[in-house]
Amino acid sequence: MIIVALDPPQNVDVEKWIKIRYDELKEYVQGFKIGVPAIIRVGLEGLSKIFKDYSGLLIADLKLADIGDVMALTASIVGDYGFNAVIAHAFVGYSQAVDELSKTCEKKGLKLILVVSMSHRGSEEFIDKHLESFVEIAKRVGSWGLVAPATRPLIIKRVRELIGSEVKILSPGIGVQGAEPGTAICYGADYEIVGRAITHSENVKQSALKIIENQKQRVAKCRG
């Protein structure tokens, strides 16, 4: 399963850029993830218009990392504009932080997705050291999903062992960042998040279909 990260380059009409990709891809992928740059450039109203009829996953990738009431308020706002999932960091802790956020997500019917590891090198400096504690927080608040990087698949494997089978694992790092489609799923992820390899290609639909096919083949092989 594929989630498309819509991270527009600078110097484009962002709203148009997103709408074109959404229209081309919505039938083939399971969801879209919108990051902070696109959210602050287009605004929530513009985004809510583009995605108003969408029934797939629509993730506000704000990487929330604030005190509880600020994160809760932010989640509540993006929920009002049609997002059905929100990404936050476990790093800010349970108490007066993820705890409060999770209650608001439950109230608003938002899927909470917690980052437990990231795809860049700096993730090893602090974040990865607390992997097990972050997964504990996710369990404690009943998080819908976790983010763990396709670039380091052994981390995905470990996270899957820790969290059990109910919680979704979303895995960025496929394509331009280096991981092959299917890798993360073979190691235990549910969704692979693909950005530029699809969105920045000349034919986004063709690129998506190719990645979906590659993903299927690799998964068939590793499960075979």
Residues numbered 75-114 forming contacts with its own copies, rule: CB under 8 A: 76-78, 89, 91-99
Whether 66 is catalytic: yes
Residue 43 interacts with its own copies (CB under 8 A): yes or no: yes
**Residue 58 interacting with its own copies (CB under 8 A):** no
Closest contact distance (angstroms) between CB of 97 and its own copies is 4
- 23 has catalytic annotation: no
Number of H helices, E strands in the chain: 10, 8
Residue placing its CB nearer to its own copies in the complex, 96 or 206: 96
String of b and e for 166-176 (b: at least 16 CB within 10 Å)?
ebbbbbbbbbe
Among 4, 34, 50, 64, binds its own copies (CB under 8 A): 64
Look up 157 and say whether it is catalytic.
no
Which range in 41-49, 158-166, 183-191, 213-221 contacts its own copies by CB under 8 A? 41-49
Q: Is 54 exposed, middle or buried (0-12, 13-18, 19+ CB in 10 A)?
A: middle
Q: Which two tokens stand for residue 90?
A: 């476990």
Site for its own copies in 119-178 (CB under 8 A): 119-127, 130, 133
Record the tokens describing residue 30, joined without a space.
């399971």
Report the largest interatomic distance among the alpha carbons of the chain, rounded to a whole angstrom. Answer: 47
Per rule CB under 8 A, count of chain residues that contact its own copies: 45
Phi, psi of 136 (to 5 degrees): -60, -45
> Which has the closest alpha carbon to 153: 198, 115, 184, 119?
184
43 — phi, psi (to 5°)?
90, 155
Active-site annotation, residues: 61, 63, 66
Q: Which residues bind its own copies (CB under 8 A)?
A: 7, 10, 35-37, 39-41, 43-44, 62-68, 70, 73-74, 76-78, 89, 91-99, 118-127, 130, 133
